[in-house]
Amino acid sequence: MNHMCLSAQGVRSNVLSTSPLRRLPTCGFQHTKLGNSLRTTTTLLRLHLPSNLLYVILVDGPHAGQSVPHVHIHILPRKDGDFVNNDEIYDAIDAKEKELKKKLDLDKERKDRSMEERAQEAAEYRKFSF
């Protein structure tokens, strides 16, 4: 997974997104690496989170509602009853994607996290063996 990026900014806590670090058009090799990253991430999430199902959503291309200009996968741990209607999850994802797009447009106003904050977050994910 050393060529992949794992992001924890999602619809709610414990929602992850994984994508290739290289911003190139995806082809066979990158798809294989993305698939391997997905398998590793979902396996570890199932071991560490109190979730009985996962939604895995591939976002590839602007017409897919992509908030960032590269292929990525949302990994959403779910529990029975967390959404009254299962289709509500797509509205929540769409709303979050729009919010993230606005944030990307305002990148110059973004305040980077401190090294301490990033180290603390990385330490939390290392517990998952990523």
For the annotated catalytic residues, the residue numbers are 72
Q: Which of 13, 125, 4 lies closest to 77, judged by CA?
A: 13
The pair of structure tokens assigned to 119 is 């180290």
Q: How far is CA 53 from CA 8, 13, 41, 46, 68, in A?
A: 18, 15, 14, 8, 26
Element (H, E) at 34: helix 28-48
